[in-house]
């Protein structure tokens, strides 16, 4: 069983359907409305835990009802909350999510407390870093937290997965310490300077990122699948699974939590990505983010079929 440390965000998802995305100044009647646990870090932690990993979450929430629900949710999902702390002044983060009739989404994140994770918060968790088989981090917190996480994991010789979302500039020094980077097309384009539109441009972007020091590049391409490049071959796309898509909001988080689980359990890169694609496919067949993450038995049944 893999031990996974997730350092990142927890926010409450406030999601509504809309017939189309509003133009500036436009009000659109939508619905239904859903509220639930979210945040890239929280979602990825739930994805990994539901697949059977031992997961420790490091994040910050507020002294409010959303913070109470965060702790309750993590406990329900069997996630270690030793390093889930409460900020004395900031509220728990929120994500305002609109999903249109084409099942595309737009998201505004107000990080709140999880945007205030400090270097000291990370250093206090050093024993959890030592115990982890792999460390998973995103960019939905402060760069201070991200940099400290990557540097500490690297110092202790722990594999690092960086999900560079939402996009922020990442220094060359940090990229050289990353074992696996998992951008989508937009993030890969911004990181590499190559506009990713197809397999050829994904390969070009991956080569650029490899040249910057990243060990293995995994560019998620939505319904196409995932382009994988580790420099040992020319790389290629691991195809996605065809499913009835309901809500794509948590797909990337499902992939990351799953990939962390499978690679930490010793699967090959190809097999880990294939199975992570399956987890992402199942997640988009349900509404929501963390609540949509599939359990291990669902994944096994899906792959068997």
Residues forming the annotated binding site for ATP?
Answer: 184, 220-225, 252-253, 277
38-65 as b/e: b if 16+ CB within 10 A? bbbbbbbbbbbbbbbbbbbbbbbbbebe
Tokens of 85: 């702390």
Contact 256, 279 (CB under 8 A): no
The whole-angstrom separation of Cα 139 and Cα 268 is: 26
The whole-angstrom separation of Cα 252 and Cα 249 is: 8
Query: Which residue has 């939505």 as its token pair?
Result: 222
Q: Which residues are annotated as a binding site for K(+)?
A: 247, 249, 283, 286, 288
Query: Which residue has 């694609």 as its token pair?
Result: 277
Cα 163 → chain centroid: 6
Which H or E element spans position 76? helix 65-76
Contact 227, 236 (CB under 8 A): yes
Q: Which residues are annotated as a binding site?
A: 11-13, 39-43, 140, 184, 220-225, 247, 249, 252-253, 277, 283, 286, 288
Q: Is the dihedral of CA 280, 284, 288, 292 positive or negative?
A: negative
Q: Would you please indicate which residues are annotated as catalytic (active-site) residues? A: 253
Query: Residue 223 has what DSSP assignment?
Result: G
- Judged on CB neighbours under 10 Å (0-12, 13-18, 19+), 195 is middle
The whole-angstrom separation of Cα 166 and Cα 186 is: 10
Q: Is the dihedral of CA 111, 104, 198, 45 positive or negative?
A: positive
């Amino acid at each position: 069983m893999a031990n996974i440390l997730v350092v990142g965000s927890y926010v409450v998802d406030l999601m509504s359907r809309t017939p189309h995305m509003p133009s500036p100044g436009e009000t659109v009647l939508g619905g239904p409305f859903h509220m639930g646990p979210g945040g890239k870090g929280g979602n990825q932690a739930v994805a990994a835990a539901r697949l059977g990993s031992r997961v420790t979450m490091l994040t910050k929430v507020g002294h409010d009802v959303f913070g109470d629900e965060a702790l309750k949710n993590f406990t329900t999902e069997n996630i270690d909350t030793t390093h889930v702390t409460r900020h004395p002044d900031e509220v728990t983060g929120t994500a305002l999510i609109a999903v249109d009739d084409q099942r595309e989404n737009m998201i505004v994140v107000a990080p709140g407390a999880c945007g205030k994770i400090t270097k000291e918060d990370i250093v206090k968790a050093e024993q959890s870093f030592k115990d982890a088989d792999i460390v998973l981090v995103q960019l939905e917190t402060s760069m201070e937290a991200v940099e400290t996480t990557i540097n500490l994991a690297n110092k202790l010789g722990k594999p690092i997965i960086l999900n560079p979302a939402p996009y922020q500039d990442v220094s060359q020094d940090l990229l050289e310490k990353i074992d696996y980077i998992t951008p989508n097309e937009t993030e890969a384009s911004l990181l590499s300077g190559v506009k990713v539109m197809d397999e050829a441009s994904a390969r070009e972007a991956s080569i650029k990122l490899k040249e910057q020091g990243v060990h293995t590049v995994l560019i998620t391409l939505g319904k196409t699948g995932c382009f994988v490049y580790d420099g040992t071959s020319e790389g290629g796309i691991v195809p996605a699974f065809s499913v009835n898509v309901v809500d794509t909001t948590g797909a990337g988080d499902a992939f990351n939590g799953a990939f962390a689980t499978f690679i930490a359990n010793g699967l090959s890169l190809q097999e880990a990505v294939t199975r992570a694609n399956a987890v992402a496919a199942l997640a988009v067949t349900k509404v929501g983010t963390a609540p949509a993450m599939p359990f291990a038995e669902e994944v096994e049944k899906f792959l068997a079929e």
